[in-house]
Amino acid sequence: MNMYTVAVKRHFVAQHYLLGDDWGEENRKHSHHYLVELQVKGSKLDKHGYLLDIMDIQSYLDEQVHYYKDKTLNDLPEFMGLNPSIECFAFILCKKFSQKINAPAANIIAVKIWESDNVWASYTSVKYDDHDAKFEL
């Protein structure tokens, strides 16, 4: 399917330590300079030629960055029982944005998180039915 993509990104620093096996240095609490990108995709534009209001998704992303900035991910309730990998982090953020973004023309929301210059993971949520306001996770 042919689609438009609108994306916004932000940098922030947060801490974590990995669980469940011997991951060397990653088992000790440390900081990452995360870069998170929120992407919204859809095949139709509104009458103004927009997929959505970009100010809205910037403010949603700012809210989340403000919440996670300088925190230890392991201490937060949404990471309880989870290894705070960038895969899990992308899933959690994608779930939050999926519940918040109100853009009828948007079919796909994706969150991509870099934990270093060369390493990223993403999670993608797809809304299959144009009439269904909810995204599948």
Residues that bind Zn ion (CB under 5 A): 26
HEC sequence for 75-107: HCHHHCCCCCCHHHHHHHHHHHHHHHCCCCCCC
User: Which is nearer to Zn ion, 26 or 87 (by Cβ)?
Assistant: 26
User: Which is nearer to Zn ion, 26 or 56 (by Cβ)?
Assistant: 26
For the bound state, the minimum distance from the C-beta of residue 37 to Zn ion, rounded and expressed in Å, comes to 19
For the bound state, the minimum distance from the C-beta of residue 129 to Zn ion, rounded and expressed in Å, comes to 38
For the bound state, the minimum distance from the C-beta of residue 82 to Zn ion, rounded and expressed in Å, comes to 14
